[in-house]
Amino acid sequence: MTHALRPPVGAIILTGFMGTGKSAVAELLSRRWGLETVDTDAMIKEQVGASIAEIFATRGEQHFRDLETDILTQLAEQRGLIISTGGGMLLREHNVELLRQMGPIICLHASAETIMERTAASSERPLLNKPDPQTEIQQLLAERDAAYQQADYHIATDELSVEQAAEAVAEAMRADPRGCLLAPEPVEIPVELGDDSYTIHIGKGLLEAVGEIAAPDQRGQRAALITDDNLVELYGSVVAESLERVGWDVALFAVPSGEGSKTLATAGQLCDQLAEAGFDRSSVVFAVGGGMVGDLAGFVAAVFMRGLEFVQVPTTLLAQVDASVGGKVAVDLPRAKNLVGAFHQPRAVIIDTNTLETLPERQLCSGLAEVIKHAAIADEAMFGYLEENLERLEKRDPVCLKYVLARNCQIKAEVVAADPHEQGQRAVLNFGHTIGHALERAAPQWQLSHGEAIAVGMVAESEVAVEKELSEPDVVERLRRLITQAGLQPDLAGIDPQQAGTAMSADKKLRGGRLRLPVVPRIGQVVLTDQIQLTDLREALVRLLE
Amino acid sequence: MTHALRPPVGAIILTGFMGTGKSAVAELLSRRWGLETVDTDAMIKEQVGASIAEIFATRGEQHFRDLETDILTQLAEQRGLIISTGGGMLLREHNVELLRQMGPIICLHASAETIMERTAASSERPLLNKPDPQTEIQQLLAERDAAYQQADYHIATDELSVEQAAEAVAEAMRADPRGCLLAPEPVEIPVELGDDSYTIHIGKGLLEAVGEIAAPDQRGQRAALITDDNLVELYGSVVAESLERVGWDVALFAVPSGEGSKTLATAGQLCDQLAEAGFDRSSVVFAVGGGMVGDLAGFVAAVFMRGLEFVQVPTTLLAQVDASVGGKVAVDLPRAKNLVGAFHQPRAVIIDTNTLETLPERQLCSGLAEVIKHAAIADEAMFGYLEENLERLEKRDPVCLKYVLARNCQIKAEVVAADPHEQGQRAVLNFGHTIGHALERAAPQWQLSHGEAIAVGMVAESEVAVEKELSEPDVVERLRRLITQAGLQPDLAGIDPQQAGTAMSADKKLRGGRLRLPVVPRIGQVVLTDQIQLTDLREALVRLLE
């Protein structure tokens, strides 16, 4: 998937002349993909209580098109459908508009001869009860050609079996920036980093497929699966089994859960355990867990014997949309977080949307702040989607999760690919982080999640940008509304303004010279500016806390 | 210097017709380079007690050429000369041969007109006391042209001042694979690694020039100078001052000397100290010391804030010819050495040959084993040079040191450039290391230096290779003779054969499959072979220790 993913749709629409295979393909696909199938003709028949031929005969074509419009309006809010339409559906402009909003339109085509052959047995086709049906069909095909051309995809089915036609549709949908989200297959996001390129796989149930995805048939190759003690049973063993199924020789290492394990000492212990167990430079590290596990295991992979390959299997929203993309691995020192680390790109990232089903609310919210940040700096359409579908996300709707995860990874992957070692443009990812980090450091422990701090930071920094006329006022309003909706409204009482100001001045990003601050001029865009001074941000921070 | 360096020569030879500037250029250059200058005509005059004109007049040209041959034979063993010869020196084939062995021959040229002008005032030129000297000169130039063409370099001096001519000679010599070793300038060895390319600078007194070489005019840029507590006074402060002179802001960090400091804990402490002192990603680490300091400081540079630039200033022979080239940095774990590390290429390597003047004998010897290894696998000429000049090296002769260091770095740089992440061909550097490492691990502490172990390993592995008809017997003989000469004959008593065998089987390089062992078929060449089994090496090891 190299095009920008677009908000997920409710349906995949199959249209085309009668006899091109719409209904058969729709049914086969619906069975394979586990989606409901809907036939607009059948719905009309049922709702009106008359056959299509009768409706045409007694009420005329215009009335039939009205009925089709009604049906589409009824279907508009539904999700996860495969719709097959009547052959004349695209003849009415308004119906085309309604369909476009519902999803990608695939038109199946066939020659008049094929259609004659396929429909010979049917008496239910009103337009064919004519003296010379083949000429009639040819004429109708010619008349409707312009209408059919409005579809997004075209597939000629003359030479195809139903199975082949269904596969052709599936293939088109897997590559479609909206349709792929309904397909059961994982979405694959490439991260383009030359020799270090890799793919992010996002889908339902992928924990069980880690072995297949990471590398099938690795008979005897050694895998070090690093996780935390909370996740060993839940995820660790699932991934281990999946690896063993394709021949990996797996050893499982669990560290105590929590940021307290992200130290040089733990990294050293893990390296020692790997050495004791006889791991060598041909072994592969699998990191299964949240950000802590990914950072720690990634660091171990970066330095053990000067570097092993590793695979990230992030299991929290924050790790999935942020830490797992970009190759930044690290451990903390008592003085500050992430002070010792490396840039070490994974061989693959595998994200199972199922892991989010059990993720506690507050952890989901914390990840949402980074999701909102990515939308704000890079994708107005995703921002709009979040405004309308946050509830769906909070309910862990699989298609919605797949879209949000995939689009976020895609945005971050693009930024990272342009600046893998964080020497310039990658700074746009720090939107909200200057004030956010200062709050995080100054707050009493546990009072603020990372996401809450960043959320407050995005709004506060954007307020300063609006004052300086660098952002539209709309940016602050929409951000504030969305983070409120996302439950990212922390209690800031008890954070000392003075201490927060000091923390900000100590920020390593701000040392030695000009501040290059990311600001969002309008939702979906970002620029780095030197028009905002550290003192402006300090004032904003103090205002926020007083 | 991109051509292979060749063993250093005793002299730079300036020749050419009278009036082309030989003597003046030789004198100027000798003053600048601190070398002795010798004029063959002057020597003859002094030894014979007659002027050249008189010798020509009374004894004839052939006799004069004999005298020249005598002089060259006298000079052959001397070192560090700039020789200016009589204008007809190259006319005798045998003299040319003698000169070639002494050093590069530079012929200065000028037109007959220029020569007339420059020599008008002189009465000491026997060939010019003719009625039409200019025609005479033209004729002689034509006659001698073929002889002059035998020189290695040609410089037309008609338009040049003496200073300009001397500079032209100096420039040619700085680029000459033998002449550059006599020049006072550092030799520069490029390490070609794409974006990670850097230069190794080798010369006398370079500690005081680290600032100039690493980057002049770094006003305010921060340098973390890491060394050990034995070297702070001796070298650390010299390098610090050199950096401060060109504007760096230097902080000095000294760890306890010895391998005991090469730990994750010390690395963590250094990172914490760097953070406390406010170092950031724009700072540069300077590693001043032996292999331990280079590995530790390099590892700190690799991981602090995910990577700072660093400059290696190695001060032991072993670090200079081995550890400082290739970007391998690491710390030890209690279980094994170098288990945690990275590939992190330095920005530059700066080697001061003066540091070897105070290096203890045993440390010099330990480094010599790697020197001999590089010669054995890649350069028969260097091997031959070592056989003849080891005493000179042990006396720390500066030109000899410069050659040995530079050529070693060049050999290692070539291997590393072809395989920066040690995935294949770089294994040739392990010649002697399979048996050597096993001995090192099995020996009681301090009994064996790394160099001694490797030296024994090279001989023992080559003996196996000779048995298998993979090496010429000559290889073992020459290796044994040279390492004996170098004082690399350790006492192996007390090393348990069984324990050494076990240590070899545990070697991480040998795990999981076929042994790819470097063997030297003849001195100066190396191949990786799978014709030798681990059991063959174990037998050889046991034989060695029983």
**Does the active-site annotation cover A433?**
yes
CA atoms of B430 and B376, how far apart (whole Å): 12
CA atoms of B270 and B286, how far apart (whole Å): 13
Nearest-by-Cβ selection for A342 from B264, B302, B334: B302
Q: What are the beta bridge partners of residue A81?
A: A11, A36
Nearest-by-Cβ selection for B306 from A280, A336, A341: A341
Chain A hits for B272, CB-CB cut-off 8 Å, are 333-335, 339
| Contact check, Cβ <8 Å, A305/B264 | no
CA atoms of B117 and A72, how far apart (whole Å): 106
B289 to chain A, closest Cα gap in Å: 22
**Does the active-site annotation cover B109?**
no
Q: Which domains does chain A have, with CATH numbers?
A: 11-181 (3.40.50.300), 187-359 (3.40.50.1970), 405-545 (1.20.1090.10)
**Does the active-site annotation cover B380?**
no
| Contact check, Cβ <8 Å, A307/B342 | yes
**Does the active-site annotation cover A412?**
yes
With CA atoms as reference, report the closest residue to A154 among A34, A145, A71: A145
CA atoms of B300 and A28, how far apart (whole Å): 59
With CA atoms as reference, report the closest residue to A66 among A48, A46, A39: A48
ipTM, 2 dp: 0.86
**Which residue reads 């010279």 in tokens?**
A513
Chain A hits for B264, CB-CB cut-off 8 Å, are 264-265, 267-268
Best to test chain A binding among B193, B264, B285, B441 (most A CBs inside 10 Å): B264
CA atoms of B364 and B440, how far apart (whole Å): 18
**Which residue reads 């390597």 in tokens?**
B349
| Contact check, Cβ <8 Å, B342/A303 | yes
**Does the active-site annotation cover A154?**
no
pLDDT 10s digits, A344-401: 999 999 999 999 988 888 888 889 999 999 999 999 999 999 999 999 898 998 889 9
**Does the active-site annotation cover B422?**
yes
Helix (H) or strand (E) holding B62: helix B61-75
Residues of B near A (Cβ–Cβ under 8 Å) read 264-265, 267-268, 271-272, 275-276, 278, 280-282, 302-307, 328, 330, 333-336, 339-343, 421-422, 508, 511-512
**And the tokens for A186?**
């994982």
- CA A254 vs CA A126, A235, A236, A314, A354: distances in Å: 68, 12, 9, 15, 21
Nearest-by-Cβ selection for B333 from A275, A281, A421: A275
The chain A residue lying nearest B279, using CA atoms, is A508
Report how far Cα B324 is from the mean position of its chain's Cα atoms.
13
**Does the active-site annotation cover B430?**
yes
Side-chain half-sphere of B320: how many Cα atoms within 13 Å? 29
What pTM did the predictor assign? 0.88
A395 to chain B, closest Cα gap in Å: 38
Query: Pairing relation of β-strands B348-352 and B309-314?
Result: parallel
CA atoms of B187 and B69, how far apart (whole Å): 33
Q: What are the beta bridge partners of residue B518?
A: B528
Chain B hits for A333, CB-CB cut-off 8 Å, are 268, 271-272, 275
A194 to chain B, closest Cα gap in Å: 13
With CA atoms as reference, report the closest residue to A91 among A143, A22, A49: A143
A502 to chain B, closest Cα gap in Å: 15
With CA atoms as reference, report the closest residue to A356 among A341, A376, A371: A371
**Does the active-site annotation cover A328?**
yes
pLDDT, one tens digit for every residue, chain B (546 residues): 568 898 888 899 999 999 999 999 999 999 999 899 999 999 999 999 999 889 988 999 999 999 999 999 999 888 889 999 999 999 999 999 999 999 999 999 999 999 988 887 665 555 556 678 888 899 999 999 999 999 999 999 999 999 999 999 999 998 898 888 888 889 999 999 998 999 999 999 999 999 999 987 788 899 999 999 999 999 999 999 999 999 999 999 999 999 999 999 999 999 999 999 989 888 999 999 999 999 999 999 999 999 999 999 999 999 999 888 889 999 999 888 899 999 999 999 999 999 998 888 888 888 999 999 999 999 999 999 999 999 989 899 888 999 999 999 999 999 998 888 877 888 999 999 999 989 988 888 778 888 999 999 999 999 999 999 999 999 999 999 999 999 998 888 888 888 888 888 766 565 555 678 999 999 999 999 999 988 899 999 989 888
Burial B197-222 (b: 16+ CB within 10 A, else e): ebbbbbbbebbebbbebbbeebeebb
| Contact check, Cβ <8 Å, B512/A304 | no
CA atoms of A455 and A457, how far apart (whole Å): 5
| Contact check, Cβ <8 Å, A421/B307 | yes
| Contact check, Cβ <8 Å, B306/A282 | no
Nearest-by-Cβ selection for A333 from B275, B328, B330: B275
Which of A262, A450, A478, A538 is an active site residue? A450
**And the tokens for A148?**
């059919």
With CA atoms as reference, report the closest residue to B254 among B234, B280, B231, B271: B231
With CA atoms as reference, report the closest residue to A305 among B499, B507, B367: B507
**Does the active-site annotation cover A230?**
no
